[in-house]
Amino acid sequence: MDRIQRIAIVGGIHGNEWTGAYLVQKFAQYPDLICRSSFAALTLLGNPAALAANRRYIDKDLNRCFRLEDLQNPALTGYEEDRAREIYRILGPGGKTPVDLLIDLHSTTANMGLTLILGQDHPLMLHLAAALSARHPLVRVYRSIDSGREYDSLRSLCPLSLAIEVGPVPQGVLIAEIFQATEALIHTLLDALDHYNQGHWPPGDRLLTCYQYLGAIDYPRNSQGAIQAMIHPQLQSRDYQPLHPGSPLFLTFEGEAILYQGEATVYPIFINEAAYYEQGVALYLTEKQTLQIPGEGNCQRSI
Amino acid sequence: MDRIQRIAIVGGIHGNEWTGAYLVQKFAQYPDLICRSSFAALTLLGNPAALAANRRYIDKDLNRCFRLEDLQNPALTGYEEDRAREIYRILGPGGKTPVDLLIDLHSTTANMGLTLILGQDHPLMLHLAAALSARHPLVRVYRSIDSGREYDSLRSLCPLSLAIEVGPVPQGVLIAEIFQATEALIHTLLDALDHYNQGHWPPGDRLLTCYQYLGAIDYPRNSQGAIQAMIHPQLQSRDYQPLHPGSPLFLTFEGEAILYQGEATVYPIFINEAAYYEQGVALYLTEKQTLQIPGEGNCQRSI
């Protein structure tokens, strides 16, 4: 396979998600921590102005600014639109220091544990996800394929990419336990990448449990757009747990339960993420899947 | 005693503390919920512009704008300074509908349970706090006397006042269980007030456990003001638990513990509250106290 020569670790694409922003600043201060023999690593603080303001963004969500036609559109001149172009010129294809693999660090108020978000089924990324799942009990793998996010997010810049989404952690807060768990996960990831880079592939096929995006559900709202209900207490914090037809989804302010009307059992994630209220998302629904990752022979062909 | 004739329930003084903001909007929609036979109740949404922007404040923390000389200073014309004057003209002394008792609803990212904040030792407020403590196991009483907050906060407008501070809940998020617990607490409070209003005082003295403000501790910072450490995992979420000399307080980004250097056991609160990073506060220290609340005879004299 082609060796991964340079990777990027990005944090603070959202300025109020401090876990990634502070981890990236730590790695920038101590570059030996992310150095491995077989590849170079660079760090990038995504949205410094939003971090200083302790806001998700200044003008527009930076992680929606990487669509190619937007990057090439000179009429888009908001802070994040400019910043997306800067980032593209640094680590994008044809940029100053293009990278082969990109890790984007995020945090969420939802109980997402240590979630790996994969936008493609590249065998290397699936193998990395399997290696991390085997070593960290809180790791979950969310396949965001067909969610639309694979065309406008930072990770769309690089064919080998993943986002790490950790929680629950409030915006503008550091939780040491989550900071340390995320750092440990990154070290495991870098070690695994180094290992694979040196030609060590698992001999046979492996199985990977993952959760495939199905769709989003918004809060019940009135005609003015004001929410009329909250996540039901029986659903709160139960990310990646099965939600059966007829189970409680929301609780109105008057105390009435609103039930899930779907016909199949699904697996909600990003339940009650703070930043998604304004995006009209109370939770995502996913399908639990088991993927078969090809072993050594197939991988050598497909990478 | 003098009967309490009119009370105010205020929420959303901070625009990203949704529990109180949505509860007050519910009470405004269903005024019968907070109606009792012996007193009138009004509701007030503290900072509508900040709520719409989902920020703590627009120009300045509204709950620091109620100092009398600031209210009278025409040079102060920020959004919150104007809004403080409007609120003063509604429910302050000499206002349109002055109130005898004020309840101010807040939420926090710290594990504060259902905290009652008392700024004075008025026997009626202590009795109410004791009644609520007896009925809700998560209730804690924080005496903020001498914290400085009794001169600039909304509750300084009214000699009988308390803030209710609930958590942990992220900013810009509703947690149904906390919403319902806060609403239940308010109903207990209104019922107890109605009861006392009708002359039913506890016959004898009562004891009340409370936590008296001692001081604040900031995060370790470098010369540029950047934080260098996080709340230690062994302290995180342990609000109202004893902190002994030599126990871990912070964890640096390099993984070193910083220990509590004080000489006495104290009780930290507001541990890792998101809004306090910018105020230079990692936690407050309190002393655990047992107060004796005077019974019927003394109360009748002192109210």
Instruction: Locate all alpha helices (DSSP H) within A54-175, ordered by sequence.
Output: 68-71, 79-91, 123-135
Choice among A41-45, A192-196, B1-5 with the minimum mean pLDDT: B1-5
B303: confidence class by pLDDT, cuts 50, 70, 90: very low
Residues of A in contact with B275 (CB under 8 A): 172
Task: Report the Cα B113 to chain-centroid distance in Å.
Answer: 12
Q: Is the Cβ–Cβ distance between B237 and B168 less than 8 Å?
A: yes
Tokens encoding B206 = 């009562």
Buried residues in B17-46 as b, exposed as e (16+ CB within 10 A)? bbbbbbbbbbbbeeeebbebeebbbbbbbb
Choice among A6-15, A22-31, B138-147 with the minimum mean pLDDT: B138-147
Residues of A in contact with B45 (CB under 8 A): none
Q: Does A168 touch chain B (CB under 8 A)?
A: yes
Give pLDDT, residue A297.
58
B302: confidence class by pLDDT, cuts 50, 70, 90: very low
B201: confidence class by pLDDT, cuts 50, 70, 90: confident
Residue B243 clears pLDDT 90, i.e. is over it: yes
Give me chain A's average pLDDT, please.
94
* Best CA proximity match to B57, nearest among B1, B12, B2: B12
Residue B94 clears pLDDT 60, i.e. is over it: yes
CB contact residues (below 8 A), chain A span 39-78, against chain B: 54
Report how far residue A28's alpha carbon sits from residue A112's, in angstroms, rounded to the nearest whole number.
Answer: 26
Report how far residue B254's alpha carbon sits from residue B228's, in angstroms, rounded to the nearest whole number.
Answer: 9
Q: How far is CA A122 from CA A118, A127, A190, A215, in A?
A: 9, 9, 17, 22
**Sequence letter at residue B84:** A
Q: Does A182 touch chain B (CB under 8 A)?
A: no
Give pLDDT, residue A203.
65
Mean pLDDT of B224-231: 97
A114: confidence class by pLDDT, cuts 50, 70, 90: very high
Report how far residue B165's alpha carbon sits from residue B181's, in angstroms, rounded to the nearest whole number.
Answer: 12
pLDDT above 70: percentage of residues in chain A: 96
pLDDT above 70: percentage of residues in chain B: 96
CA distance B109 to chain A (A): 7
* Burial label, B287 (beta-carbon count in 10 A; 0-12, 13-18, 19+): middle
Residues of B in contact with A231 (CB under 8 A): 174-176
**Sequence letter at residue B271:** I
Q: Kindly report, residue by residue over A85-94, the tens digit of the pLDDT.
A: 999 999 998 8
- Which residue's structure tokens are 């990487």? A66
Q: What angle do CA B209, B214, B217 make, to 5 degrees?
A: 125
pLDDT above 90: percentage of residues in chain A: 86
Residue A295 clears pLDDT 80, i.e. is over it: no
Mean pLDDT of A99-106: 97
Nearest to B175 among A175, A176, A236 (CB): A236
Tokens encoding B296 = 């019927």
CA distance A226 to chain B (A): 10
Report how far residue B289's alpha carbon sits from residue B41's, in angstroms, rounded to the nearest whole number.
Answer: 32
Residue B299 clears pLDDT 60, i.e. is over it: no
Task: Report the Cα A160 to chain-centroid distance in Å.
Answer: 13
Q: Three-state SS for A43?
A: strand
Residues of B in contact with A172 (CB under 8 A): 171, 274-275, 277
Going B78 to B80 to B83 to B84, the CA torsion angle's sign is negative
Do the Cβ atoms of B170 and A170 come within 8 Å? yes
Give pLDDT, residue B23.
98
Q: Is the Cβ–Cβ distance between A6 and A42 less than 8 Å?
A: yes
Q: How far is CA B237 from CA B76, B107, B112, B246, in A?
A: 38, 15, 8, 18
Pairing mode, strands A101-107 and A113-118 = unpaired
Q: What angle do CA A241, A242, A244 make, to 5 degrees?
A: 145
Write out the E strands in B124-263.
139-143, 161-167, 206-217, 229-231, 248-252, 257-259
Give pLDDT, residue B298.
54
CA distance A12 to chain B (A): 15
Mean pLDDT of B132-156: 90
A298: confidence class by pLDDT, cuts 50, 70, 90: low
ipTM associated with this complex: 0.94
Q: How far is CA A157 from CA A82, A98, B139, in A?
A: 15, 10, 50
Highest mean pLDDT pick, A293-297, B151-155, B258-262, B299-303: B258-262
Give pLDDT, residue B200.
84
Nearest to B277 among A172, A175, A233 (CB): A172
Q: Kindly report, residue by residue over A162-197, the tens digit of the pLDDT.
A: 999 999 999 999 999 999 999 999 999 999 999 989
Give pLDDT, residue B297.
59
Q: Kindly report, residue by residue over B56-66, the tens digit of the pLDDT.
A: 999 999 999 99
Give pLDDT, residue B48.
98
**Torsion, Cα of A93, A95, A97, A100 (10° steps):** -10
- Which residue's structure tokens are 């660079």? A42
Report how far residue A139's alpha carbon sits from residue A114's, in angstroms, rounded to the nearest whole number.
Answer: 5
Q: How far is CA A218 from CA A16, A226, A229, B207, in A?
A: 23, 11, 10, 48
Tokens encoding B114 = 């259902």
Q: How far is CA A191 from CA A33, A37, A132, A200, A301, in A?
A: 11, 10, 10, 12, 23
B203: confidence class by pLDDT, cuts 50, 70, 90: low
**Is this structure's pTM higher than 0.80?**
yes
CA distance B93 to chain A (A): 33
Give pLDDT, residue B149.
78
Instruction: Tell me the sheet residues that pair with A164.
Output: A105, A116
